[in-house]
């Protein structure tokens, strides 16, 4: 495994592995604060049926997990624990609230989108776990090269339903293309296909670094070009969830793209 964590001093000070790591941690803190202040499920944690007992308490718990793990990811002493807690929480969330809706409605886009959202977040959290496990000298079965491979597969699989949703919600996708760009329908097709291709490339390990970097760039440009003007103009209450979700997913994509650092851009295979 590449020494992505870089050279580090054996201190417990605040320490940033990469820009993606810092942005991701800040985004987790942000959704944690929003969840705790408003007492609602923020993006990443939505999808809990209303019939679930202690639903409000669970929303506060998700906010607390987001806040504490986001802070913990920036502190060397707690980074590995924070990554472990976040990764475990996301895996549990996938099992409890993402798989079942797909089983009961496999032809519906929304459950697949939600599952892709969580898969992308799992990919980022797993990359961070691998980094900090290596930094603390604790490589294991779920860390090292194997851990990075699993993390990237989760991320790649998560991109595929994002791309498919561009076609199942084609009118919505076309309407979100900035007005100053020509060929709105063409952009909708291009971005949908590129996400699917990037996801498959990452999963099978063909040009993985290039695919991860371009997918992170695409998500970042979507956030900037689509939601940036909305924020400046004053978003509606219904817009905030999608704005936050787009920012969080962009940060997660950035982390996974950072995990390829030092690898050839056109490499074929896991390493």
**DSSP code per residue over 114-171:** HHHHHHHHHHHHHHHHHHHHHHTT---TTSHHHHHHHHHHHHHHHHHHHHHHHHHTHH
Mean pLDDT of 111-128: 96
Q: Which among 137, 97, 145 has a CA at the least distance from the CA of 118?
A: 97
* pLDDT at position 84 over 70: yes
- Cβ–Cβ < 8 Å for 155, 249: no
Mean pLDDT of 129-147: 84
**Hey, where are the domains in the chain?**
19-258
pTM (predicted TM-score):
0.91
Stronger pLDDT, 60 or 2, i.e. the higher one: 60
Mean pLDDT of 164-192: 93
pLDDT score of 8:
43
Q: Which among 49, 70, 74, 73 has a CA at the least distance from the CA of 59?
A: 49
- Rounded Cα distance between 148 and 182, Å, is 39
Share of the chain above pLDDT 90, in %: 70
User: Under 8 Å CB-to-CB from 181, ≥6 apart: which residues?
Assistant: 187
Share of the chain above pLDDT 70, in %: 92
14-65 pLDDT tens trace: 667 888 999 999 999 999 999 999 999 998 999 999 999 999 999 999 999 9
* pLDDT at position 117 over 70: yes
pLDDT score of 204:
95
CA dist list (Å): 130 to 53, 83, 111, 118, 244: 34, 9, 28, 18, 26
User: Under 8 Å CB-to-CB from 1, ≥6 apart: which residues?
Assistant: 130, 134, 139, 144, 145, 148
- Rounded Cα distance between 138 and 136, Å, is 6
- Cβ–Cβ < 8 Å for 96, 117: no
- Cβ–Cβ < 8 Å for 43, 240: no
- Rounded Cα distance between 231 and 163, Å, is 24
206-252 pLDDT tens trace: 999 999 999 999 999 999 999 898 888 888 877 888 899 999 999 99
- Rounded Cα distance between 135 and 3, Å, is 9
Q: Residue 135's pLDDT band (boundaries 50, 70, 90)?
A: confident
CA dist list (Å): 179 to 56, 176, 182: 40, 8, 8
How high does pLDDT run on average in the chain?
Answer: 90
């Amino acid at each position: 495994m590449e020494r992505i964590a870089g050279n580090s001093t054996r201190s417990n000070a605040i320490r940033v592995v990469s820009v993606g790591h810092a942005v991701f941690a800040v985004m987790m803190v942000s959704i944690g604060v929003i969840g705790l202040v408003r007492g609602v499920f923020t993006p990443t944690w939505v999808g809990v049926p209303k019939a679930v007992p202690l639903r409000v308490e669970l929303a506060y718990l998700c906010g607390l997990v987001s806040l504490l793990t986001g802070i913990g990811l920036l502190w060397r002493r707690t980074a590995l624990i924070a990554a472990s807690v976040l990764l475990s929480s996301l895996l549990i969330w996938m099992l409890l609230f993402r798989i079942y809706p797909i089983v009961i409605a496999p032809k519906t886009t929304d459950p697949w989108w939600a599952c892709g959202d969580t898969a992308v977040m799992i990919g980022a959290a797993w990359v961070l776990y691998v980094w900090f496990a290596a930094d603390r000298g604790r490589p294991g079965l779920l860390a090292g090269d194997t851990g990075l491979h699993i993390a990237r597969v989760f991320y790649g699989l998560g991109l595929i339903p994002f791309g498919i949703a561009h076609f199942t919600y084609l009118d919505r996708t076309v309407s979100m293309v900035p007005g100053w760009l020509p060929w709105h329908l063409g952009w909708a097709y291009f971005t949908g296909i590129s996400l699917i291709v990037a996801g498959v490339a990452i999963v099978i390990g063909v040009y993985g670094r290039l695919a991860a970097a371009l997918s992170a760039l695409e998500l970042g440009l979507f956030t900037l070009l689509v939601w940036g003007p909305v924020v400046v103009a004053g978003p509606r209450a219904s817009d905030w969830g999608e704005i936050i979700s787009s920012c969080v997913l962009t940060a997660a994509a950035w982390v996974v793209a950072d995990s390829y650092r030092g690898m050839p851009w056109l490499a074929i295979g896991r390493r």
